[in-house]
Structure 1
């Protein structure tokens, strides 16, 4: 029997990516609505309640409304919005976050898809906090650059219509909506200082966490940091820890559409400083790929079915 999946918000960037990944899988039966039905509350409610698993690709308030429209105790939900990433009763859908999280996702009814920036940050930081290489109360900063597709339709249109727009630095209120999930799911006492940026590339992302090792308790070495990350992601098909330290990292068009998450540790020759760096596709492991991975896990399928490893 096929698994009935309804993507609520399938016309947005993430929703379209998810639908494309699921459209040719025989074990998945997509519940679809035409343009008129998408705007009809009764039709949406019927689709939400008919599905085995619903994937919400909606603004936060609309995602909350969609959950409230589910009137049964059977339909399971993956929410790709920010609405439920730190909410009680929701399982955080980052399967590799800790050794038990995939099992939590497998049995959960409500799963919140991680944000793209937090995916890179948490992959780097959470294991190191867990292993006490980074103190939970350390004042962390995170710098990240994303392709403009992560900003949704309005930002995509802005970049594609304004040829002179090369770079966007933002988040100057220091209250970016991804910060609470970074703090909570890394187990941090204080929110990190987050500096997000957007560049003139459609997709791709680099997330970086600088560490002043000489000032940190125990002065952790690059080898210790790498060992912690290797142990955290041993056997993962999607998260790769690299031992190399190239002179530069580039995100090119060949990275588009992948679901990998690549992690590296760069360190000064004297071991006094380090830069933790994650590279990923913001629409892959940072959005649609993560949603498909969570769907696979919840449905008891191969976790990487339909993904590019």
Structure 2
């Protein structure tokens, strides 16, 4: 019997990508609402209760409302918003970090944010291994394609007077901060400097480190080797060879991908390092992560339907 799946918010960027990826997959029966029903509370409640699994592709407040509408149904939920990422009772949907069994058995799963996926993919394994200190004041410099900002930002960047660069988050209170601190087991909030560039999709997340000032003076080579060991066998997360990279580019027409590439760059003496993650903000940073979690929750091969390699 096919697994009944409801995407609440299927008309948004993330929801549309998920629907596209599920085309032709006979394991699932999509429960669909027409335009008149999409904002009807009773219709949404009925769909949420009829589904085996629901994926919430909604703004935070609407995602909280949807979780309440689904209460008592037994429906398993994947929330792509930031509403439940540090909430009690929810599992963090980063299988590589929290363990696939944790996701497979979960009732409620919250997708990671796109920027935190890059940050945590780099920092969390190294802090766990004791190679980087948990009490260091980490900073993040990151740029993303504009598709992650929702319809208003998409329209702004696709207008005739589109900006060439948009920096934001100057109140130092970005919604991604709590999950980055919690799931990297850090003692301090990070300083996060996000920006948007005129590419539809794609993301580069960078963490500069003064290794020579850290306790024990961590070695860049050991950091890279530890990341390779941590992600060994992964078809999704790859650790690159920094010696083969002269530049990292985000093209305006970067193709869709569910992979994430990690790099450890260092200077000659090894005193300075730049940890860099390259990913698709709509792939491993959103829709691809939701499909990965869906596969794991349903006992299906983890990479089914993902865009990997030349796919």
Contact 2:156–2:162 (CA under 8 A) maintained in structure 1:
no
TM-score by length of 2: 0.97
CA deviations on 1:254-294 (whole Å, 9 max, x unpaired) are 74211000000000101110000000000000000000000
Contact 1:150–1:283 (CA under 8 A) maintained in structure 2:
yes
Contact 1:23–1:30 (CA under 8 A) maintained in structure 2:
no
Flag structure 2 segments of 5+ consecutive residues without an equivalent: none
Match of 1:191 among 186, 189, 192: 189
SS in 1 for 2:242: coil
The match for 1:77 is 77
Residue 39 (structure 1) shift: 1.8
Contact 2:199–2:254 (CA under 8 A) maintained in structure 1:
no
Name the count of aligned residue pairs.
307
- Within 5 A, what are the aligned runs for 1:15-30? 15-30=15-30
CA–CA separation in structure 2 for the residues paired with 1:16 and 1:149:
12
SS in 2 for 1:36: coil
CA deviations on 1:38-90 (whole Å, 9 max, x unpaired) are 12111110000000000001111111110111143521000000100001100
1:272 pairs with 2:271: yes
Contact 1:107–1:298 (CA under 8 A) maintained in structure 2:
yes
1:123 pairs with 2:124: no
CA deviations on 1:139-165 (whole Å, 9 max, x unpaired) are 100110000001010100111114341
Flag structure 1 segments of 5+ consecutive residues without an equivalent: none
The match for 1:174 is 172
CA–CA separation in structure 2 for the residues paired with 1:162 and 1:215:
47
Contact 2:49–2:73 (CA under 8 A) maintained in structure 1:
no
Larger mean Cα displacement after TM superposition, 68-77 or 197-206? 68-77
1:298 pairs with 2:294: no
Residue 222 (structure 1) shift: 1.4
* Gap change, CA 1:149 and 1:305, over 3 Å in 2: same
TM-score by length of 1: 0.97
CA–CA separation in structure 2 for the residues paired with 1:54 and 1:117:
24
